[in-house]
Amino acid sequence: MLLIQNARIASENPPALIEGDVLLSEGRIQAIGKGLAAPDGTRVIDACRRILLPGMFDAHVHFREPGFEAKETIATGSEAAINGGITGVVMMPNTSPAIDSATVVGHVLGIARRTARIPVFTSGCVTKGRAGKELAGIDGMRNFGVRMLTDDGDTTGDPAVLMRAMQYATEFGMFFASHCEVPELAGPRALNEGAMSYRLGIKGSPACAEEIIIDRDIRLAHATGAHIHIQHVSSKLGMETIRWWKSRGDVRVTAEVSPHHLLFNDEDIGDYDTHYKMNPPLRTRADNEALLEGLIDGTIDLIATDHAPHTPFEKSQDFVSAPNGITGLDTALVSLHHHFVATGKFGWDLIVKRFSAEPRRFMGLPAVSIGQGQPADLILFDPDRETTFTADFMKSKSSNTPFLDKTLRGSVDLVVLGENVLLERP
């Protein structure tokens, strides 16, 4: 048994934190209140007014296995998630081989069962090999529990193929996640088209390359009755397009934003720093502000890291040649606290709603909460402690992040899932 005393308990219902004690036993929350007595043999943790939250859930991660294990494995990726207070993830299918059939899904989920200490789900491809030509083995993947279909890493280029997939798979309760990009417009995918691309002398990727496909894929979902999820929204107009379609009320559309598209913009790239190179690219300060507004007002439903590990050698190449992506699992919650909660831009209720409850509902899972009788799936967060993101601190196999060796305010001190304490910092 475990008794957490004097915690400030957060939920998705604003605004106040509730002070109290939480008693855990047999993998569930047995009691909540003030001044709870500790039964014999109970371990007691004084939370010292730290924040007690449901575990986070990340609906967009790249664990690279199979095929790119030098960057990340399911084991190391799931440990990075735990390190950041995340107790469930959904993998993207751009592995080698791609996750496009029941055989590969079964293989990947088998690895996850053997090596991960948290629930690991996977999406499946829309098309074979993510090539955009033929439909993947959708029914077989569905039989293994796959609900999300995506060719993430690229757009499903042929709208007729995507429409046919929507017509087929929607009947089975599956939905579609869209990486939105017109490749002919996006060019080298290096950085946003604008003042910074001109200054650095690199051909930029205009925001309209993303925004055109956002509108296209929502229109296809509208025509077929499918649920479409727009991944890693990066621009103001893209967010406003999603808001307009949602206002109609006749199409099911959800959207996510990554912490890096909230926090950084193309001005941060500086002298060709590849830690800030990602796809979609970092855009402008005005886009940061619009995305934050959309997250707060509900236009954007989820926070998702788009955790994309790469080796140091790959990221040490020149800016155009280096691969896109940054890691995010170790850093997301602390960075969101440091930049937004600690500065009063939004509260813990929004973190719980957008980074824990809604991502689970999105995947057809029950939201977890700190409530009597609920499963134990929680984290203890110290808002006053600091975290320095050294390579030794991070559990991801890769450390391609702008936060490398930076110190931020906040610390994930405890992670509990079921009967297991997955992480405890002294």
Q: Is 236 helix (H, G, I), strand (E, B) or coil?
A: helix
Give every CB contact of residue 289 below 8 A, 6+ residues apart in sequence. Answer: none
What residue spans of 230-338 are helical by DSSP H?
Answer: 236-248, 259-263, 285-297, 312-315, 332-336
DSSP 310-369: --HHHHTS-TTTSPP----TTTHHHHHIIIIITTTSS-HHHHHIIIIIHHHHHTT-PPP-
Cα gap 151→218, rounded to integer Å: 16
Burial class of residue 140 in the structure, from the number of CB atoms within 10 Å of its CB (0-12 exposed, 13-18 middle, 19+ buried): middle
Give the C-alpha separation, 101 to 339, whole Å.
41
Which residues face 52 on adjacent strands? 9, 380
Matching residue, tokens 């057809």: 364
Closest listed residue to residue 122, CA positions, set 89, 151, 156, 165 = 89
List active site positions.
306
Please say whether the dihedral angle defined by the alpha carbons of residues 176, 183, 131 and 113, taken in this order, is positive or negative. Answer: negative
Residue 293 exposure: Cα atoms within 13 Å on the Cβ side:
13
Ramachandran angles phi, psi of 122, nearest 5°: -130, 150
Please, is 209 exposed, middle or buried when counting C-beta atoms within 10 Å of its C-beta (0-12, 13-18, 19+)? buried
Residue with tokens 């009063």, as numbered in its chain: 344
